[in-house]
Chain A
């Protein structure tokens, strides 16, 4: 039995993390609109609040007030629970993310010694949410979109995991805290093997979060409308929130594994962590607004014929380099 003090600390930490997720998702929506606007030489939201900062609040209020339509003929329980399966795993992953360091105590809700393995296992459950949405919607277009999405996410998990294994080999441990400490002399991205692993991780992360150039599940200008067609109101908001939380998670993992986590001179560690994470998020947004979309078969071909062999070769070379 846990003591009352531990229980109270758990509640406080949990509430803080959930609050951070909520604020972070709303901030990310605003940030995406501003980045896209400046790339397109326009201004983005400017009216609601200073330079449109409160625009996300207005959007959330609008989504909450929308009517929640349930089409006839959906498979009721599967359709109802799909948004939760899309969002909850992304939130569960925050348990293992090291946010910073105050006087030697790492700000991590729970420092599991299988940290990165836990993260990879839980993020795979998101695919289930998408598939449930596609099947439950009773709509052939949604099903096509969901199946494509599931195929995409499964095939890009392999390069993702292989690049993370390379990092784990160099760090010598699965725990997130120890991976950060292993980078105290030199960030992992500056080692040649791991630079390639970083690129592979970045591309696979784009595919995992369904962003351009791999955003076929959400393609608006193609025939199939995507797995979230039949959702409106708060359920749609949950999918949206899940997508942005996913984006934050993959960037946070990239920042921790390759860029040295919360380490850095002068500024407090939490600020460094946020700077690195948002830097990678901005990089992904930059990709979104520059590139076109790849076709489904080209996407699969790219993963199996290019990324997977290269990541295996990288792993082999890294293992050989470490043995020396």
Chain B
């Protein structure tokens, strides 16, 4: 008989402790931000979309070979002065897994990972681009780009 009442009182007390925890959290400031009017800055090492500084590329093809999913496809041609020149540098965003290998392996830092992360679109074609176009990221360019 006494057990019955003790159980009820300890049960009720445990519920009150739970309520106190929740109440304490009500007094804390919210941890969310109002996206898209407010955006958080990305860290230094953040791995966003791949981008290319075409003038630094030495056409060694290391980035295309190390990509685990094979999303980079590069072609080049020889100019009459025996210099290599890039013809296409295709990047398939649908296959890219944002691992950062291409950035790490490039000897001249020609290919690097930018800070673009808002890459939703309605059209498949916009996701398979050529990094030599100047209009490549015009759809999503935002202040986070370096």
Contact = CB atoms under 8 A, between A and B. Distances in A.
Q: Does A touch B (CB under 8 Å) in the complex?
A: yes
Contacts of A46: 34
Nearest to A310: B8
B26 interface: yes
Contacts of A80: none
Nearest to A38: B26
A45 to B, nearest CB: 11
A289 B30 contact: no
Interface string B80-108: 00000000000000000000000000000
B122 interface: no
Given A291-B15, A306-B8, A42 B30 contact: yes
B3 interface: no
Contact of B23 (A40, A41, A286): A286
B22 interface: yes
Contacts of B31: 41-42
B79 interface: no
Contacts of A40: 25
A177 B60 CA distance: 90
A306 B8 CA distance: 9
Interface residues of B, number: 15
Q: How large is the interface on A (under 10, 10 to 19, 20 to 34, 35 or more residues)?
A: 10 to 19
A286 B15 CA distance: 12
A39 interface: yes
Nearest to B4: A306
A306 B5 CA distance: 10
Interface in A18-61: 37-43, 46-47
Nearest to B28: A41
B124 interface: no
A191 interface: no
A290 interface: yes
A214 to B, nearest CB: 14
B29 A290 contact: no
Given A286-B23, A306-B8, A42 B32 contact: yes
A47 B36 CA distance: 11
Interface string B1-38: 00000001000000100110111011011111010000
A312 to B, nearest CB: 14
A41 B8 CA distance: 31
B35 to A, nearest CB: 11
Contacts of A290: 18-19, 21-22
Contacts of A41: 25, 28-31
A291 B30 contact: no
B25 A286 contact: no
B14 to A, nearest CB: 10
Contacts of B34: 43, 46-47
Interface of A: 37-43, 46-47, 286-287, 289-291, 306
Closest 4 CB pairs of A and B: A42-B32, A290-B22, A43-B30, A38-B26
